[in-house]
Structure 1
Amino acid sequence: MIDLDAYILSLVRIAREEKAEVTATKLQKIFFLLEKEMGTDFGLNFVPYMFGPYSLKLQEEVNKLLLEGKIKAEDETIHDIISGVEVGVIHKYYTDLNVTVDERVEEFFRKWVKKSRKEILNYVYTNYPEYTKYSVIRDKVLKFNE
C-alpha cells in the first residue's frame, strides 16, 4: 500500500526547497498527473470539477494532515477587482517535516512544483480535456475557447 500522506508531505517539502508555492489547485493537478503520467495508483478517483480534475479523497487526506499539524495552510483571500467582494480563497500549504519518497517521484514533483498554476492548468486542460468539461476557468482565464 502506498502511503499517500508521505507523498503529500514530500511534495510540500520539495516546494519549500524550490521556493515554490503549493496551492490546493496545484496539489490536485500534480497528483492527477502523477497518477496519469507515472502510473502511481493511489486510487484517488479524479473527476471533472470546477477547476479541472479533482479528488475528494486527496483533499480529505490534506485536511487530515492539516488537523494533525503536519502541514499548515496560509490562506489568501481573492477579491473581485471591481466590487471588492470576496470571491474565493487560495490555500497555500507548508511543512517543516522532511519526508522523502521514491526518487523518481521526487524528480517529478520538482519538475511540476516549479511551474506556475497557470502552466500546470494549461498542460492538464490541453492533454486531459475530458477532465475539464466543468471548469469555470478553462474558457475565461486560460482562453481555451479562442
Structure 2
Amino acid sequence: MQKTVFLGQKELGLELDYTFIPYYFGPFSKELQDDVYKLKRLGFIEIKEYVVEDPVTGAMMGFKKIYKITEKAQTKILDEEFKMFVTEKT
C-alpha cells in the first residue's frame, strides 16, 4: 500500500500530500498509515497480516499485509456514485 501510494504521487502526479521517508521495505508515510488504520476502525477496509520469514534461516523479517475493501465501503461507494449519477441527470 505504501509503495503504491508513493508511486502514485511521484510517477502519476497524484496530489495526495503524503510525506514519505525511506524505510526497511521501501517508502513509508506515518500520515498514510494513520489514514489506513482510521479506515479500518470505520469498517471500510480489512487488514490481514502474515509473518514474513527468511527462507534460509526461518527468522522473522517483518509482516506482509493484505488490504481488502469491505462490503460496507463498497455500498458507500455505490451510493455516492448513484447520487452523482442522479445529480448529473437532473
> How high is the TM-score relative to the length of structure 2?
0.67
Task: Tell me the equivalent position of 1:50.
Answer: 24
Write 1 or 2 for the structure with the bigger share of strand.
2
Of the three residues 59, 63, 75, the one matched with 2:49 is 75
Higher relative contact order, structure no. (Cα contacts within 8 Å, ≥ 6 residues apart) = 1
Cα separation, partners in 2 of 1:83 and 1:32, compared to 1, 3 Å: closer
* Secondary structure of 1:53 counterpart: strand
Unpaired runs of at least 5, structure 1? 1-26, 101-146
Give the 3-state SS of the residue equivalent to 2:17 in structure 1.
Answer: coil
- TM-score under structure 1 length normalisation: 0.44
* Mapped partners of 2:8, 2:57: distance in 1: 39
Superposition RMSD in Å? 2.0
**Structure 2: segments with no counterpart, 5+ residues:** 79-90
Separation (CA, whole Å) in 2 of partners of 1:44 and 1:75:
23
Residues 49-86 of structure 1: per-residue CA shift (max 9 Å, x gap): 22222211111100111122211011111223344343
- Higher Rg of the two aligned structures: 2
Distance in 2, matches of 1:39 and 1:85, equals 38
